[in-house]
Amino acid sequence: MAEHSIRITAAICTHNRATLLPAAIESLLAQSLPPADFEILVIDNASTDETPQIIQRYRAAGGNVTLRSAAQPVLGLSHARNLAVEMAEGDIIAFMDDDAVADPEWLAALLGAYTTHPNAWVVGGKVLPLWQGERPAWLTDDLLPHLSMLDLGDVVRPLNAGEPLYGVNFSCRRGAFARVGLFRSDLGRQGVALLGSEESEFQQRILHQGQALVYTPHAIVSHCVPRERLQQRYFIRRAYGKGRTNARLMMSHSLRRRAMMWRCVRGGLGVARRWLMLGLHPLDKRKQLYCMQITATWLGFTLEALMHRRSARTRQDSTRPYV
Q: Where are the beta strands (DSSP E) in 208-267?
A: 212-225
Q: How far is residue 303's CA from residue 276's CA, in Å, rounded to a whole number?
A: 16
Selection from 82, 85, 66 nearest residue 28 by Cα: 66
Q: Which residues of 215-227 are buried (b: 16+ CB within 10 A; e: fewer)?
A: bbbbbbbbbbbee
CA distance 178 to 162: 24
User: What is the pTM assigned to this prediction?
Assistant: 0.86
Cα–Cα distance between 58 and 25 in angstroms, integer?
8
The SS3 of residue 14 is strand
Question: What is the reported pLDDT for 271?
Answer: 54
C-alpha 122/C-alpha 186 separation (Å) is 22
Q: State pLDDT tens for residues 198-213.
A: 999 999 999 999 899 9
| 10 vs 243: which has the higher pLDDT | 10
Cβ neighbours of 15 (radius 10 Å): 23
Q: Please, are residues 225 and 130 in contact by the beta-carbon 8 Å criterion?
A: yes
CA distances from 54 to 22, 24, 29, 57, 216 (A): 7, 12, 15, 5, 32
pLDDT band at 264 (very low <50, low <70, confident <90, very high): low
Q: How far is CA 212 from the centre of its chain?
A: 19
315 pLDDT more than 50: no
In tens, the pLDDT along 127-165 reads: 999 999 999 999 999 999 999 999 999 999 999 888 889
Q: What is the pLDDT of residues 277-313, one digit of tens each?
A: 555 565 677 878 888 888 888 888 888 888 876 665 5
241, 147 Cβ separation under 8 angstroms: no
Asked if residue 114 has pLDDT above 60, the reply is: yes
pLDDT digit string (tens) for 265-279?
A: 555 555 555 555 555
Q: What is the mean pLDDT of residues 314-318?
A: 47
**How far, rounded to the nearest angstrom, does the alpha carbon of residue 99 sit from its chain's CA centroid?**
12
The pLDDT assigned to 188 comes to 86
The rounded percent of the chain whose pLDDT value lies above 90 is 67
Q: In this structure, are residues 171 and 124 in contact, taking their beta carbons and an 8 Å threshold?
A: yes
Q: Which of the four pLDDT bands, split at 50, 70 and 90, describes residue 257?
A: low
Cβ-based neighbours of 80, under 8 Å, separated by 6 or more? 13, 14, 15, 43, 45, 72
